[in-house]
Amino acid sequence: MALFKLTLKELQEKFTSGEISAGEIARAYLLRISQVESKIKAYISVNSKESLLENAQAIDDGLKAWRKTEPLMAMPLGIKDNICTEGMRTTCGSRMLEHFVPPYNATVMTRLKAQQPLILGKTNLDEFAMGSSTEHSAFGPSRNPWSQKHIPGGSSGGSAAAVAADECVAALGSDTGGSIRQPAACCGVVGLKPTYGRVSRYGLVAFASSLDQIGPITKTVTDAAIMLNAIAGHDPLDSTSANRDVPDFTKSTKKKDLKKLVIGIPHEYFAEGLDTEVAEKIHEAIQVLGGIGGKIQDVTLPSTGRAIATYYLIATAEASSNLARYDGVKYGFRAKESQELAEMYHSTRSQGFGPEVKRRIMLGTYALSAGYYEAYYGKAQAVRTMIQRDFDAVFQEVDVLVSPVMPTPAFQLGERLQDPLQMYLSDIYTIPANLAGLPAISIPCGLSSKGLPIGLQLMGRRFEENIVLRAAYAYEQATNWRSKRPVIRS
């Protein structure tokens, strides 16, 4: 089997045993990227062949001297291009930061680099992580490896496409309203959003600060646990980082049954608008979960219907505040030939931001404006508390909640670009977990009649990623969906 087809755990075992070298891994992935990247367009930037082979040689040389390996040593990773990487361009998929090279690493990068992986490049995304299809990238859309006419999801579409197309063994994404789980579902891979505060946000270019969270996109649940082990933990540089012990998440990927776990089925997630094929696959997955020991229980989350409106007030308000810094003065793009300061501000933001980012800035600015703050933003925060309380009440009865990830399989490129509301509804099932700060995972659970992946979402209590991973792993082992891979034709 080609090296690029292996899972992270399989590749790790071959490298640790000495069966393969870091150089062989680097060359295998460089070859794979050269074969399929022109079709998938998963990356905004790819590290040079010389740099990657030099890093791989340094790992191999060091290994001969030290005889010690780390879990991610020599593992080829993709990094979403809104995570700061020292000396590597970080664009956020925007012309505003097209030439920005950070002078420091995000905390997750510092933690990854301590284990000496191979960083292959920076993956594509919707501009400033605002989107559900990766079509809002200033550098063009990524494409779904299962069907290049379809979206890979968003905003971490490049990361999910890269993993599905074997252009990296694992990747980092960020999730503000579903941006890890939704593209993972579209591309038939695993996407884990940790609890808010479990992973440091320091060095993640902010979209909505009370919602953003970094997490892994991988081929299997075990691989997600390995990645989470590497990046989780308290960080004094992030005031929202939780000072809690971090367990070994790989211990959750050992049992193949769900005995003593209660699985909740929220009926609000199975209402009008859910595609019949998606509903069928989710109900089949629920039967599997029951068959391996889970106790199935119907539950209700009455505030679910308010989640979309709540999210698009809070997220846009925070985006408006966070993106105010891009004015052409401090760093990033600056419009030329402006005579006055106000004209320079106007021209810079008009030319530097794409239409979706402008739309969200305007919505957020309006929600925060004098006379409307309490009516919109203040009320949205109150409803957010109601949504959190719904989850708190339900999690007194159940251990894990099960739902679809998306109402439909991946839609075609261009299909919803002129209909923002339909685009926003793609995240209707993922947004509540962000509003409540919960851990949630997407795992493959089937294929549509058109051969497009369908994802199953599992949500858990805050800081109980171990239980979410246990349930996901048990389902994964009881089915064969993890072995289904796209065929990318020339």
170 assigned to some structural domain: yes
Preceding omega of 210 cis (within 30 degrees of 0): no
230 and 191 together in one domain: yes
87 assigned to some structural domain: yes
Residue 461 forms beta bridges with which residues? Answer: none
255 and 325 together in one domain: no
40 and 152 together in one domain: yes
Coil, strand, or helix at residue 84? coil
Last residue of a domain, one of 354, 382, 410: 382
Give the dihedral sign, CA 109/103/356/354: negative
> To 5 degrees, how large is the angle CA 203–CA 129–CA 215?
60
On whether the CB atoms of residues 106 and 92 are closer than 8 A, the answer is no
User: Residue 362: which residues within 8 A CB-CB, separation 6 or more?
Assistant: 320
For the chain, how many structural domains are there in total? 2
Last residue of a domain, one of 322, 350, 382: 382
443 assigned to some structural domain: yes
- Concerning whether 179 is annotated as a catalytic residue, the answer is yes
Q: Tell me how far apart the alpha carbons of residues 152 and 445 are, in angstroms, rounded to a whole number.
A: 17
> To 5 degrees, how large is the angle CA 70–CA 73–CA 77?
130
Q: Tell me how far apart the alpha carbons of residues 254 and 362 are, in angstroms, rounded to a whole number.
A: 48
Residue in the block written with tokens 């106790």: 295
On whether the CB atoms of residues 360 and 130 are closer than 8 A, the answer is yes
297 assigned to some structural domain: no
- Concerning whether 80 is annotated as a catalytic residue, the answer is yes
Helix (H) or strand (E) holding 454: strand 453-460
149 and 190 together in one domain: yes
179 assigned to some structural domain: yes
User: HSE (CB half, 13 Å, CA atoms) of 254?
Assistant: 6
335 assigned to some structural domain: yes
Q: Tell me how far apart the alpha carbons of residues 107 and 268 are, in angstroms, rounded to a whole number.
A: 37
- Concerning whether 155 is annotated as a catalytic residue, the answer is yes
94 and 213 together in one domain: yes
CA 242 vs. chain centroid, Å, equals: 20
Model confidence pTM above 0.85? yes
470 assigned to some structural domain: yes
412 and 360 together in one domain: no
On whether the CB atoms of residues 190 and 224 are closer than 8 A, the answer is yes
**Directed axis angle between helix 8-16 and helix 221-231, to 10°?**
70
374 and 425 together in one domain: no
179, 252, 303, 442: the catalytic one is 179
CA distances from 316 to 44, 197, 209, 401 (A): 25, 21, 11, 27
11 and 102 together in one domain: yes
Last residue of a domain, one of 357, 382, 407: 382
Q: Tell me how far apart the alpha carbons of residues 189 and 182 are, in angstroms, rounded to a whole number.
A: 10
Coil, strand, or helix at residue 230? helix
On whether the CB atoms of residues 85 and 79 are closer than 8 A, the answer is yes
Residue in the block written with tokens 């079509």: 135
Q: Give me the domain span that covers residue 358.
A: 305-382
- Picking from 5, 2, 191, the residue whose alpha carbon sits closest to that of residue 80 is 191
246 and 175 together in one domain: yes
CATH number for the domain that contains residue 10: 3.90.1300.10
451 and 336 together in one domain: no
Q: Is 327 exposed, middle or buried (0-12, 13-18, 19+ CB in 10 A)?
A: middle
273 assigned to some structural domain: no
Cβ-count burial 193-230 (b if 16+ within 10 Å, e if not) = bbbbbbbbbbbbbbbbbbbbbbbbbbbbbbbbbbbbbb
Q: Tell me how far apart the alpha carbons of residues 106 and 82 are, in angstroms, rounded to a whole number.
A: 10
84 and 196 together in one domain: yes
Residue in the block written with tokens 């290049």: 148
Helix (H) or strand (E) holding 77: strand 76-80
45, 155, 252, 303: the catalytic one is 155
On whether the CB atoms of residues 465 and 228 are closer than 8 A, the answer is yes
On whether the CB atoms of residues 197 and 235 are closer than 8 A, the answer is no
Please give the single-letter amino acid code of residue 191. G
For the beta carbon of residue 372, count every other beta carbon within 10 angstroms: 13
Each of the 490 residues of the chain gets a pLDDT tens digit; together they read 799 999 999 999 999 999 999 999 999 999 999 999 999 999 999 999 999 999 999 999 998 776 678 999 999 999 999 999 999 999 999 999 999 999 999 999 999 999 999 999 999 999 999 999 999 999 999 999 999 999 999 999 999 999 999 999 999 999 999 999 999 999 999 999 999 999 999 999 999 999 999 999 999 999 999 999 999 999 999 999 999 999 999 999 998 999 999 999 999 999 989 999 999 999 999 999 999 999 999 999 999 999 999 999 999 999 999 999 999 988 889 998 788 888 999 999 999 999 999 999 999 999 999 888 999 999 999 999 999 999 999 999 999 999 999 999 999 999 999 999 899 999 999 999 999 999 999 999 999 999 999 999 999 999 999 999 999 999 999 999 999 999 997 5
Assigned token pair, 178: 């579903």
355 and 315 together in one domain: yes
Q: Is 100 exposed, middle or buried (0-12, 13-18, 19+ CB in 10 A)?
A: middle
Phi, psi dihedral angles at 305 (to 5 degrees): -65, -20
Q: Tell me how far apart the alpha carbons of residues 474 and 484 are, in angstroms, rounded to a whole number.
A: 17
Phi, psi dihedral angles at 329 (to 5 degrees): -105, -50
The pLDDT value given to residue 67: 66
